[in-house]
Structure 1
Amino acid sequence: MHIVLLCGGSGKRLWPLSNEIRSKLFLEVLPAPGGGYECMLSRVLRQLESAGLLNSTLLVTHSDQAALASAYAGNRAAVLAEPHKRGTFTATVLAALALEEREEPEDGLMCVVPADTYADDRFWQLLGQLPKVLETSGADIALLGTEPTQVSSQFGYIVPEARENERAADYKKVARFAEKPSPEEAARLINEGALWNCGVFVFRRRSLGEYIQRAGLPLHAQELLEQYEKLPVRSFDQEVVERSRQIAVVRYAGEWQDLGSWSALTAKLAEPVTGKGLISGSSPNSHIVNELPFPLHIINVPDIIAAASRDGILIAAKEEANRIKDLLGQEQQDMLFRSACPPPRPGNVETSHLFLRPGQNLTLGAGRTGSCWWLILKGAGTAGSAEGGSRPFAPGQVLRSEVHPFQLSALQDTELLEIRFSPEL
């Protein structure tokens, strides 16, 4: 069975930390085992590895985030890039066609899972049992549904058949679905044993054929990619699940949450302050998540989130923080933070914007540890060491100190970025 992790998201509900380039999956704010921090994607990959499923995992993500996803996955899982976001159905079809072109068995199983799933280890272990449920039940699709912990209108509900079967402890047949019902309807569904829809689907890859043809999509990955921009956004639930004749659902009783809001995310943080800042006075349930080098302070203000990054600053009551998605609108936002690899741990890197006048020098003395890089933005001069001699530099060049002492000497007004890497910082 191949696990297909759908790494979508527009990055607006957790603005300013998340954006189109770095979605919530890559925010390294969750407490990691043994100390430190990890992001949602790191947590999921770690749990898949523990369940023995990581080697057969394929990440599907937008091309803007493919490099970042690849950096986290390393050589443990493959990454497939979408040129545009066209919904869970199109992403799943792309994954199925890509697997087929790798000569995977046509009747092989696919398990589609949202990459932003926050659950305990048993959730991921249950994925390994779904192929057996699919075979035993004779269903077209097997789902994983989680027991609701509260009445909510934010999730879709899976309504199992009331009739028990001989293997009721393993699965139930699905009677129908209810998408984001009213609070009153949600309460009634929960009393009847309905489950939250986790977005987890297991099916035989060859069964997608009729749905691909109905949607008028090509049967080759490259042809699909060439049409991507013009395709409509399609949901896997609507295109496949709701049209399937036989569906089985496995009940999961354990932690499962959507960390797509500041209220949900901050509830999982180890401390009320992440980054520079201080909360004082009577400020219960307030949190600071700060990526800037400048401190934030909250004094006598309860239930707020103060979040800051290079993209902006958000100060909001937690119950109202989701309104930022509407305020940002549908227009693409200017992004000041872009990354193609996991960010370095705080304390290991320092970036400085420097200016040198003609005749001024920038020197790294002997005995320094770590390394230093310079990106020349403007100006001219020489750079080098006593052992290796000096060489001229010009705008656009990147210089790196291989030995110490090392010196830059400006012949003109020079502007540069200095990036220092050191365990001592």
Structure 2
Amino acid sequence: MKLILLSGGSGKRLWPLSNNSRSKQFLKVLTSPEKKLESMVQRIRRQLEKTQLLDIAYISTNKTQMDIIRSQIGNQVPLIIEPEQRDTFPAIILAATYLYSVIGVSLNEVMTVMPVDPFVEEQFFDRVAYLEDVIKHSGMDIALIGVTPTYPATKYGYIMLNNNEKEHDLETTYHSVREFKEKPTEEQAEQFIEQKALWNCGVFAFRLGYIIKQLKEKGLPTKYDEMIQLYESLPKISFDYEIVEKAEKIAVVPYNGYWKDLGTWNTLTEEIQSSVIGRGTLSDTCTNTHLINELNMPVTVIGASNMIVATSPDGILVSDKSKSHQIKELVKDDKKRPMYEERRWGWYRVLDYKESTDGMNVLTKRLCVFAGQNISYQYHHKRSEVWVIVKGEGEFVLDDEKFYVKSGDVLNIPVGSKHGIKAIEDIEFIEVQMGSELEEEDIVRLFMSWGEMKKSLGCE
């Protein structure tokens, strides 16, 4: 079996902590067994390792999330990169062509797909592994996991069973599926539950050959390189609508354990162990209130009930938890650049941005490069930079000449000058950009690897 973890999302429902580059699965607000803060993607990586599924896992993501994934979970899980964010159907067929034409996976191999961010117990992954047996021995085209509902939810899809059919016994029970119902009213949901319907949690399994056959029938390429070329023309549609609901033989494996979609502040804070994360205080008169503060300033909350207070460089949210889902609509048109990002080498935070009428704009950042990591050897067409080292030490290369730098050094980088830095110990610096266009896209990367750069330049 090959396991594909889908990592996408624009991050609007958990604003201001999440944004287009740091969506919900990357927020470090959960608590690990070692009592350290961890993100959803770090949690699922730990669970997959414990259940011995990590070695068969791949993450399907878009290029804006590559750095933060590498920063949080390292290089052990291979990435399948989407040229742009679309929907689950394009993402899954791209992954299928990668397995088929790049890795050379057999058409008889079972491909299982699931979100990267479910909040589940480890026994859930026993059900994930069991899907392989269902596909191999049941004669079904697709097998899903269906969660036993705990209340008449209106935000989930429902899987309706063939209740007149006997349960099938493999090593455990699975059912055949009659139909799907999407996001019903509460009254309809209650009726579905009475009919023993299950929540659709977005976990699918099928033979690789099944999806490759679907691609051929649709006139789509089966080679990864060709799929990449036409990716932007693929329909923005879910895998459920395009494939699953049109399949003839579908099995569902019931899961009666704990499962939760932590997609809003209301549901997320139910799983956060500490009521205060970051610098701040809740008074004794606060009830069911959470404060998450990413700013370097104190926040005090007094007499608040059922509230979420979240602060980050991107903004401040103060909301009733039950109404917090409305934030997605309120910020949907916000096109501002993220003010904080995690990268493969560390992180940066935007401190100030000034647009000038004379065309000379100024952007100020604070960056941290972790020990042993490096920023790529690069140059810019439209900006100069000044770096002030405020902490740590490292190697700095400017126009092919290497320097040792430490706290207190000031580095001037003219427009077009090649430059990069590697941290000997964690190094922090203030970066002041000046130019007509101050965009992340104005980066020409010459070398990503520090070793390759030094070997090429002869400055080892």
**TM-score over 0.5 for the alignment?**
yes
How does the TM-score come out when normalised to structure 2? 0.76
Aligned counterpart, 1:304? 307
SS at match of 2:111: strand
Q: Is the 8 A contact 1:375 1:416 kept in 2?
A: no
Q: What is the deviation of 1:339?
A: 1.9
Q: What is the deviation of 1:120?
A: 0.4
* CA deviations over 1:332-363 (Å, ceiling 9, x no partner): 3321112213868xxxxxx699xxxxxxxx99
Return the letter of the residue paired with 2:82.
E
The alignment's C-alpha RMSD in Å is 3.0
Q: What is the deviation of 1:398?
A: 6.7
1:4 aligns with 2:4: yes
Q: Against the structure 1 CA distance between its residues 416 and 193, is the aligned structure 2 distance closer, same or farther, given a 3 Å change threshold?
A: closer
Q: Against the structure 1 CA distance between its residues 203 and 363, is the aligned structure 2 distance closer, same or farther, given a 3 Å change threshold?
A: closer
The count of corresponding residues between Structure 1 and Structure 2 is 380
Q: Against the structure 1 CA distance between its residues 332 and 374, is the aligned structure 2 distance closer, same or farther, given a 3 Å change threshold?
A: farther
Q: Is the 8 A contact 1:373 1:398 kept in 2?
A: no
Q: Is the 8 A contact 1:68 1:342 kept in 2?
A: no
In 1, distance between residues paired with 2:410 and 2:276? 46
* CA deviations over 1:112-134 (Å, ceiling 9, x no partner): 00111110000012211111122
1:182 aligns with 2:185: yes
Q: What is the deviation of 1:39?
A: 0.4
Q: What is the deviation of 1:416?
A: 4.5
Aligned counterpart, 1:144? 145
1:228 aligns with 2:246: no
Question: Residues 67-106 of structure 1 correspond to what in structure 2 (within 5 A)?
Answer: 67-101=67-101, 102-106=103-107
Q: Is the 8 A contact 1:133 1:170 kept in 2?
A: no
Q: What is the deviation of 1:212?
A: 1.7
Return the letter of the residue paired with 1:75.
N
1:66 aligns with 2:69: no
Question: Residues 38-53 of structure 1 correspond to what in structure 2 (within 5 A)?
Answer: 38-53=38-53
Q: Is the 8 A contact 1:6 1:112 kept in 2?
A: yes
Q: What is the deviation of 1:217?
A: 2.3
Q: Against the structure 1 CA distance between its residues 23 and 352, is the aligned structure 2 distance closer, same or farther, given a 3 Å change threshold?
A: closer
Aligned counterpart, 1:110? 111
1:371 aligns with 2:397: no
Structure 1: runs of 5+ lacking an equivalent:
345-350, 354-361, 365-369, 377-381, 404-414, 419-425
Q: Against the structure 1 CA distance between its residues 98 and 363, is the aligned structure 2 distance closer, same or farther, given a 3 Å change threshold?
A: closer
Aligned counterpart, 2:36? 36
In 2, distance between residues paired with 1:416 and 1:111? 45
Q: Select the residue among 394, 398, 411 that pairs with 2:412.
A: 394
Q: What is the deviation of 1:395?
A: 3.5
Q: Select the residue among 171, 174, 188 that pairs with 2:174.
A: 171
Q: What is the deviation of 1:209?
A: 2.8
Q: Against the structure 1 CA distance between its residues 136 and 299, is the aligned structure 2 distance closer, same or farther, given a 3 Å change threshold?
A: same
In 2, distance between residues paired with 1:221 and 1:384? 44
In 2, distance between residues paired with 1:154 and 1:106? 35
1:294 aligns with 2:297: yes
In 2, distance between residues paired with 1:326 and 1:401? 41
In 2, distance between residues paired with 1:416 and 1:52? 43
Identity of aligned residues (%): 35
Structure 2: runs of 5+ lacking an equivalent:
348-365, 369-387, 398-402, 433-460
The structure with the larger Rg is 1
Aligned counterpart, 1:359? none
Aligned counterpart, 2:351? none
Aligned counterpart, 1:411? none
* CA deviations over 1:84-112 (Å, ceiling 9, x no partner): 12211111100010011211112111000
